[in-house]
Amino acid sequence: MINNSNEQQHQCYVCQERFLSRNDLQHHLRQKCYPSDMREQVEQLTQHIRDDKRRQKLQQILWKHGKLFDVRRPSIIKATVHHAIETGTHPPTYTSPYRVSYKDEQIQRDEIDKLLKQGIIEESISPWSSPIVLVRKKDGSVRFCIDFRKLNNVTTKDAFPMPRIDDIFDHLSQAEYYTTIDFKSGYFQVGLDPKDRSKTAFSTRDQHYQFTVLPQGVTNGPPAFQRIVSQILGPTRWQYSLAYLDDVIIYSPTFDQHLQHLDDILNRLNDANFRLNINKCQIAQTAIDYLGHHIEHSNIRPNADNIRALVETQQPTTAKEAFRFVKAAEYYRKFIPGFSTIAQPLHQYAPTTKEQRSKKSQATPITLSNDALDAFNELKKILTNDLILRIPDQNLSFKIQTDASKIGIGAVLMQTHPHGDLPVAYLSKKFTQTQMNWPATEQECYAIIYAIEKWHKYLDGRSFIIETDHKPLLPFNLKQQLNSKCERWRLKLQQYQFTVRYIKGKHNTVADYLSRSPVDNGMNDEDDYTPTKSIATQTDNYMRTQIIAPVITRRQAKQQLNERTACRLTDQACYEQGHKRNVDGLVDKSCVSTQPNDSHAMLPFTIEQLKELQHQDEEINNIIGNIQNYKEYFIEDYMLMKEACPPVPVIPKGRIRSNIIKMYHDTPANGAHFGRNKTIQKIQQRYF
């Protein structure tokens, strides 16, 4: 670093060599000590500047502060966040480490070794402990996370104010040049008060560690980081710089002023010892995307990505599609002057008789009349212009409505104004072929996680509401999910503060329409092909364990039946009582259970035999071949499953059914001679 003393002010921060002038030092850094790829990166950052003199001046400023872009070594800024994890007099929370496979244990060990070398964590003797979770990314890599839910529940929330988005845009509208700055792993650059470090402790099978920096996932992470960045920017805020969480923007009316402002802000960040992600920075641009809006020549419009789901939606080709669109638009009718007149040509496609309401009638192909086509395009235009689509108001809470259909997902981000809900952004996305085969709960859950991650900039650090018409997801953020995919997704969202609320399907019209007319193409998710492994054997027990009920007493059977009945009545996901599950290694929707060795003689068939019998059954084969049309079924590892609580395998007609009945009725291990009704009820808990 460049020290302030005259004796050492021209010393290289990498090799410690000293120079007589700043120019000599800069030349040395560029030729020898800066990363080899920085020259190309600086050229790419400034290639949009056509004027050679302007581009050269801009590059000089970037080279002057080149240390900011050198991320070869971890860096801790010269500021420590205090009181980030205030827990008062609450006793320490402790959760035992989750059991993991040998492979995941090695991943944990490698990640911990890396964090130790970087000084991000240290060994701990803390009484606090949160469990490690490994979240799979789309590229197949793994993100090392800590499940801080218990800690967050006892932490006093930081009320540091977030800047109002409408105020931000008011200031940005007065500028012509913009620079956005992206921090390299921003949280890990902020030192944590030693008093708070013990609360971030986590354990492996045989070690105990704690963070020395601000970790991801703690509830006060966003306001703490906002406070630090605001302090560093100081008096430049609201003059020519703004920070919204980790999004810093510099704005100026002229190019020359922008060079001065850029030099000042980079100097402040350099003095603080921050590091930036050069590949995600945008320098001296006249048009830029920021906080979901496109800014160009003092004009601010919703980002095209926010409205593409509606703008690019296809023209209705059936009466049902046309009617579904007008019902979605109707959600905002009180904000659309003359809505009834505009939409009237589309109302002719509304079903008015029992025959018209039949699926066959509504699916008949149609061609919109000229008046109906004009109405369709006019409503699309209205729903994506300033009359309806608003800049977010920081004083109003956010709400997301989500839905999933057989072909995709849809969601709308809204804020509730005094006279009703108004949209901020729309999204829709097609399912891949694999995702079409997911069970309904996973599809609906995917809509939630995709929407939250898409609109992270609006939602991080704020409380918001999720509305879904899928009741089993109501406890999604409150307790561990039976479904392993949903559990991994839930853990990815632990930094967000949200409540899941039920909305009737007939009221969820906007998200419903978007999910049935998706625009964005589907992409494979890691969960499309990652198998779930058994903890005990490191093999897939789902493939190798015979389907047979565990040994239970009559009293236990009655209790299980009551629990199952209650689960059906509430339409909620049920949980096996007293059964501890591995967070990243749940047995997906397993209808199987391991038997004691002395019961092996009673096994009637294996999973492989059941799969073979399913594929020999004409009726089951028809369902498998058209699975997208059967929402009550899904395919799990090439076997047809029925949506239930928990899901169960479909049993084909034939001798296998007789064998199951005989096994449950005759064998002592399964509570022989329960009687006809109880035997049937017991079988229905595990098969369909």
Q: pLDDT class for 481, splitting at 50, 70, 90?
A: low
The pLDDT of residue 390 is 67
Indicate the DSSP class of residue 572: -
The pLDDT of residue 119 is 92
Per residue in 123-170, pLDDT tens?
A: 999 999 999 988 766 556 677 889 898 999 899 999 888 888 778 888
> What is the average pLDDT across 585-611?
46
> What is the average pLDDT across 627-637?
76
Token couple for 11: 């010393």
The pLDDT of residue 256 is 95
* Cα separations in angstroms, 219 against 151, 215, 403, 506: 9, 10, 28, 35
Q: pLDDT class for 323, splitting at 50, 70, 90?
A: confident
Asked whether the predicted pLDDT for residue 602 surpasses 60, the reply is no
Q: Rounded to the nearest 5°, which phi and psi values hold at 550?
A: -70, 160
> What is the average pLDDT across 278-297?
87
Three-state SS sequence of 316-336 = CCEHHHHHHHHHHHHCCHHHC
Percent of the chain with pLDDT over 90: 27
Which residues share a beta bridge with 635?
640
Q: pLDDT class for 531, splitting at 50, 70, 90?
A: very low
> What is the average pLDDT across 614-618?
74
> What is the average pLDDT across 448-461?
88
Return the higher-pLDDT residue of 488 and 139. 488
Among positive and negative, which fits the CA dihedral 579, 580, 583, 586? negative
Q: pLDDT class for 305, splitting at 50, 70, 90?
A: confident
605 neighbors 656 (Cβ within 8 angstroms): yes
Whole-angstrom distance, CA of residue 137 vs CA of residue 556: 41
Return the higher-pLDDT residue of 389 and 537. 389
247 neighbors 457 (Cβ within 8 angstroms): yes
Q: pLDDT class for 558, splitting at 50, 70, 90?
A: low
| Range of 235-244, 287-296, 516-525 with top mean pLDDT | 235-244
Contacts of 44 (CB under 8 A, 6+ apart): none
Return the higher-pLDDT residue of 550 and 346. 346
The pLDDT of residue 601 is 37
The pLDDT of residue 402 is 96
* Helix (H) or strand (E) segment spanning residue 304: helix 304-311
The pLDDT of residue 665 is 64
Torsion angle, alpha carbons of 545, 549, 551, 557, to 10? 150
Burial class (CB in 10 A: 0-12, 13-18, 19+), 232: buried
State the average pLDDT for the chain.
77
Residue tagged 């469990």 (tokens): 131
Return the higher-pLDDT residue of 684 and 89. 89
Residue 437 has a CB neighbour count (10 Å cut-off) of: 18
Q: pLDDT class for 562, splitting at 50, 70, 90?
A: low
Contacts of 4 (CB under 8 A, 6+ apart): none
Q: pLDDT class for 676, splitting at 50, 70, 90?
A: low
Asked whether the predicted pLDDT for residue 519 surpasses 90, the reply is no
CATH class of the domain defined by 398-528:
alpha beta
- What ranges in 605-686 are assigned the alpha helix state H? 607-616, 618-625, 655-666, 676-684
pTM of the model: 0.60
Specify the 3-state DSSP secondary structure of 638.
Answer: coil
Per residue in 35-79, pLDDT tens?
A: 777 888 888 889 999 999 999 999 989 988 888 888 788 888 888
Contacts of 576 (CB under 8 A, 6+ apart): 482
Specify the 3-state DSSP secondary structure of 99.
Answer: coil
Specify the 3-state DSSP secondary structure of 589.
Answer: coil
| Range of 90-99, 303-312, 381-390, 616-625 with top mean pLDDT | 90-99
162 neighbors 392 (Cβ within 8 angstroms): no
**Least confident stretch, 8-12, 219-223, 431-435:** 8-12
123 φ/ψ sector (left φ>0, alpha ψ -120 to 50, else beta): beta
Asked whether the predicted pLDDT for residue 588 surpasses 50, the reply is no
The pLDDT of residue 544 is 31
The pLDDT of residue 392 is 77
The pLDDT of residue 546 is 36
The pLDDT of residue 575 is 36
Asked whether the predicted pLDDT for residue 598 surpasses 90, the reply is no
Listing DSSP states for 527-545 in one string gives GGT-----TTTSS-HHHHS
Whole-angstrom distance, CA of residue 208 vs CA of residue 126: 8
Per residue in 346-397, pLDDT tens?
A: 878 776 544 555 555 556 788 888 888 888 888 888 877 765 666 777 778 8
Token couple for 659: 């064998």
Token couple for 325: 């669109």
Asked whether the predicted pLDDT for residue 653 surpasses 90, the reply is no
Per residue in 187-203, pLDDT tens?
A: 999 999 999 999 999 99
Token couple for 390: 């608003």
In the chain, where are the structural domains located? 80-296, 307-383, 398-528, 541-684
Residue tagged 């995919």 (tokens): 485
Q: Which amino acid, 543?
A: M
Which residues share a beta bridge with 367?
none
Contacts of 153 (CB under 8 A, 6+ apart): 93
Whole-angstrom distance, CA of residue 23 vs CA of residue 31: 12
Percent of the chain with pLDDT over 70: 79
* Cα separations in angstroms, 172 against 70, 178, 261, 290, 482: 29, 9, 14, 10, 47
Angle at 53 between CA 49 and CA 57, to 5 degrees: 85
Q: pLDDT class for 11, splitting at 50, 70, 90?
A: confident
Nearest to 281 by CA among 73, 75, 64, 38: 38
> What is the average pLDDT across 457-461?
82
CATH H superfamily, domain 80-296? HIV Type 1 Reverse Transcriptase, subunit A, domain 1 (3.10.10.10)
Q: pLDDT class for 245, splitting at 50, 70, 90?
A: confident
* Cα separations in angstroms, 215 against 104, 115, 145, 192, 470: 21, 12, 9, 9, 33
Q: Which amino acid, 151?
A: L
